[in-house]
Structure 1
Amino acid sequence: MDPVMQAVIGFATAWAILILAPGLDFIFVLRTSLGDGKKAGVGAALGVALSIGLWGVAAAFGLAKVVAVSHLAFEILKWGGALYLAYLGGMLLLRPRNVLVEDETKVSQELTRDRALPSSFWLWFRRGAVVSLLNPQLGIFDLSAYAHVMPPNLANPVAFCLMLTVLQVVIVLPYHLFVALVANKAAVLLNTPWFVNLLDRLTGLVFLWFAYQLLQAHPPV
């Protein structure tokens, strides 16, 4: 088998297995679709996919290496991401709702005071993008994974890395869109005050846990 094709298949398999494990992005999309509707869930999924693509492009051109080797850059991103997750988690814990959002054309007033955005789609698109973009571990993963699977003496390593980036987005986006759509269907059956209140509180705790975990991260030596 061609070494490039073998590397691509190996990377795609590893990436697919990785995203199937319920991580921050999965939980973020799931909760958004359950709590704020299909439009918000789709927006969150697209925002996450955008950031994954941006980190991949940064890794392809070596920009993510700055985060990996610069302690200051890593710490800025790490603390920014942790504080943002803590903010979202705190809002869910302190202001849990008792009913799911029924009108998807309105922004959830229980979760945000930002009335300038035209719909929940753009609000959660932005939040999904920020959550993933402020996670420096994504860039470090791309750097290490791309270098690990790259065949030796490759004529155009940047093009190879960009191909892997596209592959990441092509795999993760349909999966998260599927999660968003299925979760939205389930929300119809789960729209009870106790469940919605519990969902917000549990998700708030999960976000705070991920914020703590992010603070424990260190740049590779």
Structure 2
Amino acid sequence: MSLQLWCSLLLVCALGAISPGPSLAMVMRHTLGSGRACGVAAALAHAVGVGLYAGLTVVGLAAVIVHQPWLYRLIAWGGALYLAWLGIQALRAGAAPAFPVQDQQGDWRRAVRDGLLVALGNPKLIVFFVALLSQFVEADMGAASRWLIVATAAVVDGGWYLLVAMALSQSHVLPWLRHRAVWVHRLTGGILIALALRVALG
């Protein structure tokens, strides 16, 4: 893969990562609710999920999924239900005056779970990778170039959400947000439920 082509791939992945959506809301909630470590865990787990979908695209399996309407709808509905559940959880947490401090061991496991499921339960990632990453895959492309595509997608995604988690956990940012925890929970909950409806309705 040429440097110019890789730079185009890098730009595409960056634009996909920074787009506001359920992934950003999920990383924000874990960072603000349980601290930097949980935000980082959620970010890294999400990157793993993105890497899996990128890998499916590179080997051609994602195209098969997209061309099976019933399977695609099943993934979409499952993802919508999970996003709605996250949104309801956030709205329920919004009744508290501050972000709850919970058991850290359980928190990072929950963060990993949510990071993976938000990525794998988002059918838009399949469409995104099939529509955009497929233009970088050629029939005679070597294994190194294929894995470079997968690594680029995962590293860019993980790097962006790591930056989000680190920025939100800074001492001068976190107290300001903690005092506004109710509104942060309500906002993220509303966004997640709205996204769930959008996914469910296609």
**CA displacement at 1:147 relative to structure 2:** 2.4
More helix by share: 2
Q: Is 1:168 the equivalent of 2:148?
A: no
**2:79–2:196 contact (8 Å) kept in structure 1:** yes
Q: Is 1:14 the equivalent of 2:12?
A: yes
- Tell me what 1:35 maps to: 33
How large is the Cα RMSD of the aligned pairs?
A: 1.9
- Tell me what 1:115 maps to: none
- Tell me what 1:92 maps to: 90
Q: For 1:59 and 1:159, locate their aligned partners in 2 and report how far apart those are by CA, in whole Å.
A: 15
Amino acid at match of 1:177: L
Q: For 2:29 and 2:88, locate their aligned partners in 1 and report how far apart those are by CA, in whole Å.
A: 15
Alignment of 1:78-89 (within 5 A): 78-89=76-87
Q: For 2:8 and 2:129, locate their aligned partners in 1 and report how far apart those are by CA, in whole Å.
A: 14
> Which consecutive unaligned segments of at least 5 residues does structure 1 have?
108-117
Q: For 2:97 and 2:147, locate their aligned partners in 1 and report how far apart those are by CA, in whole Å.
A: 44
Alignment of 1:111-190 (within 5 A): 118-150=105-137, 154-156=139-141, 159-185=144-170, 186-190=173-177
Amino acid at match of 2:166: L
Q: For 1:184 and 1:169, locate their aligned partners in 2 and report how far apart those are by CA, in whole Å.
A: 22
- Tell me what 1:46 maps to: 44
Q: Which moved more, 1:94-103 or 1:78-87?
A: 94-103
- 1:9/1:175 CA distance change after superposition, 3 Å: same
**1:67–1:136 contact (8 Å) kept in structure 2:** no
Deviations 1:85-121 (A, max 9, x none): 1111112223422222346xx15xxxxxxxxxx3311
Deviations 1:114-148 (A, max 9, x none): xxxx3311111111110110112212211221222
> Which consecutive unaligned segments of at least 5 residues does structure 2 have?
none
Q: How many residues align?
A: 199
**2:12–2:132 contact (8 Å) kept in structure 1:** no
Name the SS for the 1:119 alignment partner: helix
- 1:65/1:158 CA distance change after superposition, 3 Å: farther
Alignment of 1:70-81 (within 5 A): 70-81=68-79
Q: 1:60 aligns with which of 52, 58, 61?
A: 58
- Tell me what 2:191 maps to: 206
Q: For 1:66 and 1:157, locate their aligned partners in 2 and report how far apart those are by CA, in whole Å.
A: 21
Name the SS for the 2:20 alignment partner: coil
Amino acid at match of 1:144: A
Q: For 1:60 and 1:8, locate their aligned partners in 2 and report how far apart those are by CA, in whole Å.
A: 15
**2:49–2:119 contact (8 Å) kept in structure 1:** yes
Give the greater-gyration-radius structure (CA).
1
TM-score by length of 2: 0.89
